[in-house]
Amino acid sequence: MLCKRFKPDIKLIEYIKEYMIIDLTFDDKTFVPPPKAYPVNPEEGIRFILRGQLWSQDAETNIVEERAPVTVFGQPNRRQNLIITNNFTIFHVRFQPGGLFKLLKIPMTEMLHKNYEAELVMGKEINEIQEQLLYSSGYEQMIAVIDKYFQKKIGQLKPLGRPIDKIGRHILENPQLFNLAKVAQQACLSHRQFEKRFEQLVGVTPKYYARICRFYQAYVMKEFNPELDWLSIAIQNGYSDYQHLVKDFKHFAGTTPNILIKESLNNPERAFNTFHDFRGV
């Protein structure tokens, strides 16, 4: 059993942030894994379901949708609850901000909170990669398969050369330092031009993206540091006070900070004591 993040080949790091493998097996066949609390987070990528099934429940409408075995997804903008089967294996490819746009040449505004069957977007070749993953002898071989595939795909692209191509990554890493005037100047664009191009790259405006990143950073900090009080977390992540943090939690998770953390305690990866593997490598 495994819940772990892995770095891609160094040649891919400008486009792909990380891989994540979740491989869970419940011995009790009658046990139904609880839904996983999945608030809005800075994420876009490709999802390979190698074993079991995955459903996503919209927290606002309660509509439940089954995800295809191979799915391309854009930046989420609403809370979801993820539901899995007893035996479940998934391989996530998580892109750097704007990386999926560079690969697909599709404005990310068209993929905002959308999930598409990968074959429709990337062609039948992606199903061959799914088969190679299914027949891999282990996790290392899975990573090698994905590395090889994306080295080929990204090798056909023009190198990232424009200043704006890297700004999303800077916002992701330091959202509390976001300043629209400064980043627009770094991109050599007017405010309006920068916002328009960034939205095309990521799916949301830079200000809104920084807000998502800051919220998620605070959420993760509390998950891994439960002894920290919320005021300290708010200040460390650039909030002026606790109430502004609460406002973002209600907006992106549909609930208060304490309730979201309580819900997260039921996430399937915690049942196997593999939660801390999510710290990455």
High-pLDDT (> 90) share of the chain, %:
78
- Provide the pLDDT for residue 231: 97
Assigned domain for 30 exists? yes
Report pTM: 0.93
Per-residue pLDDT tens for 185-228? 888 889 899 999 999 999 999 999 999 999 999 999 999 899 99
Q: What is the CATH number of the domain that holds 29?
A: 2.60.120.10
Residue 161 pLDDT class (50, 70, 90 cuts): low
Tell me what the mean pLDDT of segment 81-96 comes to: 95
Assigned domain for 202 exists? no
Tell me what the mean pLDDT of segment 158-163 comes to: 72
Assigned domain for 71 exists? yes
Assigned domain for 26 exists? yes
High-pLDDT (> 70) share of the chain, %:
95
Which 3-state string (H, E, C) describes the chain?
CEEEEECCCHHHCCCEEEEEEEEEECCCCCCCCCCEEECCCCCCEEEEEEECCEEEEECCCCCEEECCCEEEECCCCCCEEEEECCEEEEEEEEECCCHHHHHHCCCHHHHCCCEEEHHHHHCCHHHHHHHHHHCCCCHHHHHHHHHHHHHHHHHCCCCCCCCHHHHHHHHHHCHHHCCHHHHHHHCCCCHHHHHHHHHHHHCCCHHHHHHHHHHHHHHHHHHHCCCCCHHHHHHHCCCCCHHHHHHHHHHHHCCCHHHHHHHHCCCHHHHCCCHHHHHCC
Cα(159)–Cα(86) distance, integer angstroms: 42
pLDDT, greater one: 278 or 153: 153
Assigned domain for 105 exists? yes
In total, how many domains does the chain have? Answer: 1
- Provide the pLDDT for residue 185: 87
Assigned domain for 95 exists? yes
Q: What's the domain range around 8?
A: 2-159
Residue 274 pLDDT class (50, 70, 90 cuts): low
pLDDT, greater one: 144 or 267: 144
Tell me what the mean pLDDT of segment 231-251 comes to: 97
- Provide the pLDDT for residue 281: 35
Cα(97)–Cα(40) distance, integer angstroms: 15
Residue 280 pLDDT class (50, 70, 90 cuts): very low
Assigned domain for 27 exists? yes
Assigned domain for 200 exists? no
